[in-house]
Amino acid sequence: MPIRFCLFILSGLLLAGRFSAAADGPPAWAYGTAPESAAAAPPHEAPDLSVKHLVDSQGAFTNAQIGDRFNPADWYPGDHPAMPDVVSHGRKPEIWACGLCHYPNGKGRPENAGVSGLPVFYFIEQMRKFRDGERTSADTRKKNTGVMISIAKAMTDDEIKAAAEYYGSIKWTPWIKVVETKTVPKSYTSVGMYLPLKGNEKEAIGERIIETPVDAEATEVLRNPRSGFIAYAPIGSVKKGEVLVTGNHGKTVACGVCHGPDLKGLGPVPGLAGRSPSYLVRQMYDMQQGTRRGNWTELMKPAVSGLTETDLLNIAAYLSSRNP
């Protein structure tokens, strides 16, 4: 579907006067910025200097090596192509290795973005938006957005292109399982990611999606790129999201018009199927609030401006539940 046609449809909806921006502040659950009522994080333990191992990996790394900003652990080199230097090491002092936060396979975690399988053109343009101040965060407490901006400003065009081509060559595959539920494990936030507290206490899910690791230690401590996530969503949210995504609610145009009928992308337009619900909601909310700007946002803003936070939640639940 030509981009100009998408813009024509979305502009028509905007002129119809159907849209109004959200006004009640960023949804904390999507940004990983816990409200004051959230559970406190466990107290810090003494540094662990032991060497860590993972199943089916020949790697052996300490915690310091795993989290090295300029040489992070690569547990499974056979799972991905040879990494360009900017992905494996970055460039001191400003550019962290892309593989640290987004993993060598590009899967990423809820507090950042899954970047594998993104169209190269789109990836490059988004890095330029970070660099030029057109991608910030509606929640100013989200510190890693500032880190990403600093990194983008320091990267050369060749480094951006190398990272874009590398991650674009890796297919996006299932990483997140959406589970509808009334209650979720009690959790706390750690650097923008929800982690379950020890014990088996539950709490009502409310109007949230809680995206948490299948194995907290494997993700938070070991940064295991094979250990995925569970996205707990309210009962009925997937079906409600399907109605919105397919354009059958009257609030917005069908997502498939621009993102492809299977929601796996169309030309330079990125795929949505199977992506992080936290990330998806952040992007839609940022577009509503004007903290994400540029050509893509001009296309998207009419489609999202009139959606409530509950609508955004339902859309993300459905999109994340789709097989990529």
Q: pLDDT higher for 297 or 32?
A: 32
Stated pTM of the model = 0.90
Which three-class secondary structure state does DSSP give residue 256? helix
Domains of the chain and CATH, by start: 3-41+174-321 (1.10.760.10), 63-168 (1.10.760.10)
Which three-class secondary structure state does DSSP give residue 302? helix
**Mean pLDDT confidence for 226-247:** 97
Using one digit for the tens of pLDDT, what is the confidence trace for 43-59?
A: 667 788 899 999 999 99
**Mean pLDDT confidence for 282-304:** 92
What percent of the chain has pLDDT above 90? 81
Q: Residue 175 CB: number of other CB atoms within 10 A?
A: 22
Kindly list the distances between the CA atom of residue 297 and the CA atoms of 36, 71, 130, 306, in Å, as whole numbers in the listed order: 32, 34, 13, 14
* Pairwise CA distance, residues 47 & 65, whole Å: 13
299 — pLDDT class (breaks 50, 70, 90) = confident
Estimate to the nearest angstrom the gap between the alpha carbon of 49 and the chain centroid.
31
pLDDT exceeds cutoff 80 at 18: no
**Mean pLDDT confidence for 199-218:** 96
Q: What is the DSSP letter of 79?
A: G
pLDDT exceeds cutoff 70 at 186: yes
pLDDT exceeds cutoff 90 at 16: no
What percent of the chain has pLDDT above 70? 90
Structure tokens at 148: 């990403």
Q: Give one DSSP letter per residue of 142-199, joined into a string.
A: -HHHHHHHHHHHH--HHHHHHHHHHHHTSPP---EEEEE-SEEE-EEEETTEEEEPSS
